[in-house]
Amino acid sequence: MEFSVLVERVVDSPSVIKAIRDLLRCKKAGEELDRGPRIPAISDFLDTEIARLSAEKAPPSRPTTFEPLDRVFRSSIMDVYGESIQQSHGGDV
């Protein structure tokens, strides 16, 4: 995705969009090739977004169990190898 399209989709503040465009223009023109001064509109936007995203609750964790997957695996093995596995393992599959 092109950066300008991403900015238009994510940023809803005209002043932040303008600040980003101005910064990109300076970077492309070689006026600012290293770190520059803090740009309040961009920094404030980033601080707000980081705080918002950090405050969103993570989905609740569920205990992980592999028993259903194990049953499917064992069933598939039995379908393919059948009785030969039961005989070699004493019927303990």
Residues in the chain: 93
Contact between 67 and 45 (Cβ < 8 Å): no
Contact between 50 and 31 (Cβ < 8 Å): no
CB atoms near residue 39 (< 10 Å) = 15
Q: What is the pTM of this model?
A: 0.54
Residue 18's pLDDT band (boundaries 50, 70, 90)?
very high
pLDDT digits (tens, 9 = 90+) for 35-92: 888 999 999 999 999 998 888 776 667 767 888 889 999 889 888 887 676 666 555 5
Residue 13's pLDDT band (boundaries 50, 70, 90)?
very high
